[in-house]
Structures are given as C-alpha cells and as structure tokens.
Structure 1
Amino acid sequence: MQAELVLDARNGTGESPVWHAAEQALYWVDIPARTLNRWHASEGHAQWHADEMIACIAPRADAPGAWIAGMESGLFSLAPQAGGTLAATALAPVAHAVPAMRFNDGRCDRQGRFWAGTMLQDMAAGARVGRLYSYAKGSAGAAMRLDDFIVPNGLAFSPDGRTMYLSDSHPAVQAIWSFDYDTDTGTPHNRRLFADMKPLPGRPDGAAMDADGCYWICGNDAGLVHRFTPQGRLDRSLEVPVKKPAMCAFGGPALDTLFVTSIRPGGVDLSDQPLAGGVFALRPGVAGVPEPAFGG
C-alpha cells in the first residue's frame, strides 16, 4: 500500500493529528515549533503560534473553534486568532515532578474527559517521572491518575469506551498496556500487558482506533504503522516513507483515511528520507471512529 504525501510540512515533531469532521480538515501540532496546524483539501495549510510548546489537542464541544491542549506548564484552551497567533487561557496548571517537563500524548475519552501524559524533555535521561492526568469539564484541576512512566504515549479508547490503551515509547520500555475503563467514573483499572514491542520493528508512539476495535500505533524508527487486534495480535504493518512516524488518526468524509504525522530529526543526514516531518495518508481498507470533543 502506497502512502500519499498530504503535506511536506517539515515538522520537527508532528503530533496529535485530529480530524475535524465539521470542517473536513485535519489539525495537528508541531511540538518544538509551538504551532497548531490545519490542512484542508481545498484551502491548504494554515498555522498558529503559541507561547509554549503544544503537545496534544482535542476540540472543545462548548467553544466552537477552540481546543483544549496539553502544553508545557499545564492544560490550556487555545483559540486561533487572525494573524497566526493563539489566544491561550489556562485551565489546569500542573506541578511537574521535576523541572523541564512538558505534556506529551493526549486525547479525550468517549465521555469527553481529556487525558494526557507528561515527560521529561530530555528523553535520553530515562527518568521515570512521567505521569498521566485526566481533566473533566468543571473540574478544579487536573487529576494525576498514573505515574512511573518515562514517555507515556499511545493513549486510545476502544469504540465502546470500556478499554483504555497506553504505551511507553522509551527504548527501555517499549510496552503497550490495556486497562478496563469505568466510563461512569473515568477510572482505569486491571492493567495488563497488551503488546511487548521490543521484539517488533519500531518503538510505540501515537495511536488511533478503528471501528473494528483494532489499535493502530506508529512504529517510530521503523517507518511503519502497526495494527493490533483487540486480543493484542499484530495483524498488519503499513509503510510510510520516513523513519519516524509519530501519530496516526482516521479522517476523511468516511473516516477511512489514516493520516500520519512524522518527525524531522535535526543533525542527521536526511537524504534517505527527504520527506521526514511530513503528513501522509494511507487507505487501510477500514474506517475509524469519530474523535470525541472535550466536554461533549
């Protein structure tokens, strides 16, 4: 299956793609560039700049055009402005375990609660200071739910919302876990190993769910996007023309296009992957499920 180049974005770290059905547009972030990006098939590419790094986003149900975002110092509401800026309103500041941390992967559960993990920006340090937080509309602040992670990633929820998936991307871990998820209280429990990716190509990065309940996750460093069945069996791997796919999301009018963002590493020879940092599209033959909005 041939991956199609959507945009030669040259993102340092393209992350958190989200298909906005009402606009028929794809949104995503470039973490080090501190930008929110939008691509529309006929309107092209637009971007807005923030004062902090943006790591993960979800649309807000109660504020059309605005987004909830995990950034460096906490969770914010972001509203794109004319002139390419973002109006940021703090929702839930977070006291990180140590300095120089930021949010990483995140998304909403099926009930509209926002979940996001934190990591030390110096990933090579291998510090287990990462935490997973949840935040519900009207909450006094973000609640710390799980800890002892290096790079929490791969957050996803099954179509019925009753299973939560989470990974750790660090080379020392490379594991994906599944949890039973109480949709009434927003509580994950019964954690178990879903897939050990150490013997597989690529480290686990960002993920998406399809309508069959299968879990798609980017194999960072391997140029692959893997699909696991609900039983944790790897049943297919699709190629993209870059080494570091970062996160995937289903979109398009029928939600049957798998968009993939990627990383353009600095200080290395990119002659064998000139499109690194681009956004790609795959046609996997299955459809995804709509992405929930915050507070929806």
Structure 2
Amino acid sequence: MSATLNPRVERLEGAGQAPAATGESPVWRAAEQALYWVDIPACKIVRLRVDSGQRSEWRLPEQVACIAFDRHGTVLAGCETGLFALTLSEAVSAASAASGEPLATSVRKLAAPEFGADGMRFNDGRCDRQGRFWSGTMVQNMAAANPAGALYRFDAQGVLSAPVVDALITQNGLGWSPDGTTMYLSDSHPSRRLIWAFDYDIESGEPRNRRVFADLHHHAGRPDGAAVDADGCYWICANDAGLLLRFTPEGKLDRQLPVPPTKPAMCAFGGRDLDTLFVTSIRPATGASEHDGHLFAVRPGVTGLAEPEFAGEL
C-alpha cells in the first residue's frame, strides 16, 4: 500500500507571474544557491536565486529542452538542432534594459545527431554520476506517436554516440541510482507510459539488461521528468495526474505526493541541504488552472543528491 503524503507545497512567486508554456529541466546549482530551468517553446533559460528571489532569464535562438553545467558554469544544452555550449552573460546592455529583452548569451554548437524524422528536438537530459551528458530526442508532434526518438550519450571527450536506445516516442525520466550502477529512462507518451531500469556500467557508460521498472498504466498519469533521492528511490512527475510518485529501487510505489499543477513536468532536489524538491510544470493550451505552468517547492522529508556536472571542457 502506497502512502499519500501532504507536506506543504509552495508556489515560488519569485519565479515570475507569467506561467511557462512548458517548464522543464530544473537544475540546482549549489555554487550559486540558485535553481535553473527552461521554458521550451519560449526558447528561454530562467534562474531563481531562491534566498533573495532574484530572477534572471536568457533567450536562445531556438527551443531549449534540457541543461547541465560544467565546473566553470558553462551550460550544456539540448536544443532543437543539437547540443550547444552556452555562456550566460550577467551584463545587461542599455538597449536590452530599455526594451525589456532578456540577457544575451554566447551560443556554440557542439554536436548533432542524424534526426530520424522531421520536426524533432532534444527532450529530457542530464549527466550520469561520472559526468557524461545523456539526452534523448522526440518528434514534437506527439499526436503522431512516431517512435523516431533515440537516447544519446555525449562524453567528456566531446563525442556524441550513436543511438544507445532507439524507438522512443517521448523520451523522459532519466536518472541514476546513488552508486551510478542503475539507469532509469521513461517514455511518457500516452501509448507507452513506461519506466525502464538498466544495469549501468560506470566505466564504459553502457546500459544493459533493460527491463520494465514501473508501468504507469497501473498508476496515475504519464511518467515525465524524474529525480533520485539519497535513499535510491526514484521520484517521477505523473503528468496529467497532479502527482509526484516515489518508487523504491525494487519498483514498488511507496509514496504519492499531490501538487497543484495538473501537469508536473520534472522535479529536482535542491536547497542548502538538498531537502527541497523543486517541480516545474506545463500549462495546457486549454483548460489551464491558475497553477499550471508555475514553479513549486516542497520538502518531502527526504534529501536528494547533488546534480553531477559535465566532466568535459566546454
């Protein structure tokens, strides 16, 4: 029997009054005590310094879906046409201040896969415990249910792999166990709703022995973005159900946590003690509530793990 938790879920007003269309990829950067996330169709990266409430944003020339950082603070981003290195400038020009435009960025393309269909982009992505960056692709028109998506690895030497996992419709849910030897991956398309686990070779970066970890046809919602806590449990955003679900390493659902938005998109641990779970959300085109598209924070009673940095030089 799974427990339903009801800790206080706080909407972070400092994140801004305007909702994101598709809020994704929250990343806690301890060096700045700040949370970063993206709004995919707005082509935007946002930062919130949680203690002060200071908010900054950067607009990119194309959609950005997932981000990680290297040790210098350079951003590695999965976008529409490939992987990019981004330098986020702190300086605001007089022209941009007057016009209200977001801060400028320096953008450099690193690599691109051979997309399997038209109208694709990168989606969910993050670094493994050794600092390799992983991200998958998807056809943006989800109604097409096109399994042209694939999962890729970008290593510290700057080499983008061939597809490691293919035939994905809506790649999501990447995460690794605390010791790095188990990798998690989901497909959040309504026709799939599956989370898989793999044995993960931490030396080679190769996942093997793919098996179903959780089938959300037996639970609520679709498996979107995820986070792993210090106990090795896997938290998944149950999109369309307004829930966060926690599965034990054995794949047993042991907690359900209601959140205000109907479509929670991805969660990440952060805060000074990594005891806060930040949750981004999506605002549907019709029937949106006042909460959809906003950023939320909750203390679920467990701590998370520091987000690994990319091991290479960008």
TM-score by length of 2: 0.91
| Residue 21 (structure 2) pairs with residue 12 (structure 1) | yes
Mapped contact 2:245–2:256 kept (Cα < 8 A): yes
Counterpart AA for 1:138: Q
Counterpart AA for 1:224: L
Provide the C-alpha distance between the structure 2 equivalents of 1:71 and 1:167, rounded to a whole number of angstroms: 19
Provide the C-alpha distance between the structure 2 equivalents of 1:2 and 1:24, rounded to a whole number of angstroms: 22
Mapped contact 1:19–1:26 kept (Cα < 8 A): yes
Provide the C-alpha distance between the structure 1 equivalents of 2:114 and 2:236, rounded to a whole number of angstroms: 29
Distance 1:76 1:142, change over 3 A: farther
Provide the C-alpha distance between the structure 1 equivalents of 2:272 and 2:159, rounded to a whole number of angstroms: 37
Provide the C-alpha distance between the structure 2 equivalents of 1:139 and 1:242, rounded to a whole number of angstroms: 37
Which stretches of structure 1, 4 residues or longer, exceed 2 Å deviation after superposition? 139-143
Provide the C-alpha distance between the structure 2 equivalents of 1:192 and 1:164, rounded to a whole number of angstroms: 11
Mapped contact 2:196–2:214 kept (Cα < 8 A): yes
Provide the C-alpha distance between the structure 2 equivalents of 1:159 and 1:90, rounded to a whole number of angstroms: 31
Which of 40, 43, 49 in structure 2 is aligned with 1:34? 43
Which of 90, 101, 115 in structure 1 is aligned with 2:109? 90
Alpha-carbon shift at residue 43 of structure 1 (Å): 4.4
Mapped contact 1:76–1:91 kept (Cα < 8 A): yes
Q: Match for residue 295 of structure 1?
A: 311
Counterpart AA for 1:169: S
Mapped contact 2:110–2:158 kept (Cα < 8 A): no
Which of 24, 33, 50 in structure 1 is aligned with 2:33? 24
Write the mapping of 1:130-279 to structure 2, written as runs, cut at 5 A. Answer: 130-266=149-285, 268-270=286-288, 273-279=289-295
Unmatched tracts of structure 2, length 5 or more? 1-6, 93-102
Distance 1:182 1:29, change over 3 A: same
Which of 55, 59, 67 in structure 2 is aligned with 1:49? 59
Q: Match for residue 87 of structure 2?
A: 79
Provide the C-alpha distance between the structure 1 equivalents of 2:19 and 2:161, rounded to a whole number of angstroms: 33
Q: Match for residue 119 of structure 2?
A: 100
Distance 1:140 1:155, change over 3 A: closer
Mapped contact 2:135–2:152 kept (Cα < 8 A): yes
Provide the C-alpha distance between the structure 1 equivalents of 2:310 and 2:117, rounded to a whole number of angstroms: 28
Provide the C-alpha distance between the structure 1 equivalents of 2:160 and 2:227, rounded to a whole number of angstroms: 27
Alpha-carbon shift at residue 199 of structure 1 (Å): 2.1
Alpha-carbon shift at residue 217 of structure 1 (Å): 0.4
Alpha-carbon shift at residue 9 of structure 1 (Å): 4.7
Deviations, residues 102-160 of structure 1 (Å, cap 9, x unaligned): 00000000000000000001011000101000001223434321101100100001110
Provide the C-alpha distance between the structure 1 equivalents of 2:80 and 2:49, rounded to a whole number of angstroms: 28
Unmatched tracts of structure 1, length 5 or more? none
Alpha-carbon shift at residue 251 of structure 1 (Å): 0.2
Distance 1:252 1:47, change over 3 A: same
Deviations, residues 51-108 of structure 1 (Å, cap 9, x unaligned): 01000000112xx221101101111101112341221111112220011100000000
Mapped contact 1:33–1:53 kept (Cα < 8 A): yes
Distance 1:73 1:128, change over 3 A: same
Bigger shift: residues 279-288 or 76-85: 76-85
Distance 1:236 1:9, change over 3 A: farther
Mapped contact 1:92–1:142 kept (Cα < 8 A): no
Mapped contact 1:216–1:228 kept (Cα < 8 A): yes
Q: Match for residue 100 of structure 2?
A: none
Give the number of equivalent residue pairs.
Answer: 291
Alpha-carbon shift at residue 2 of structure 1 (Å): 2.1
| Residue 19 (structure 2) pairs with residue 3 (structure 1) | no
Provide the C-alpha distance between the structure 2 equivalents of 1:199 and 1:214, rounded to a whole number of angstroms: 19
Counterpart AA for 2:79: M
TM-score by length of 1: 0.96
Mapped contact 1:135–1:143 kept (Cα < 8 A): no
Q: Match for residue 99 of structure 2?
A: none
Between structure 1 and structure 2, the one with the greater Rg is 2
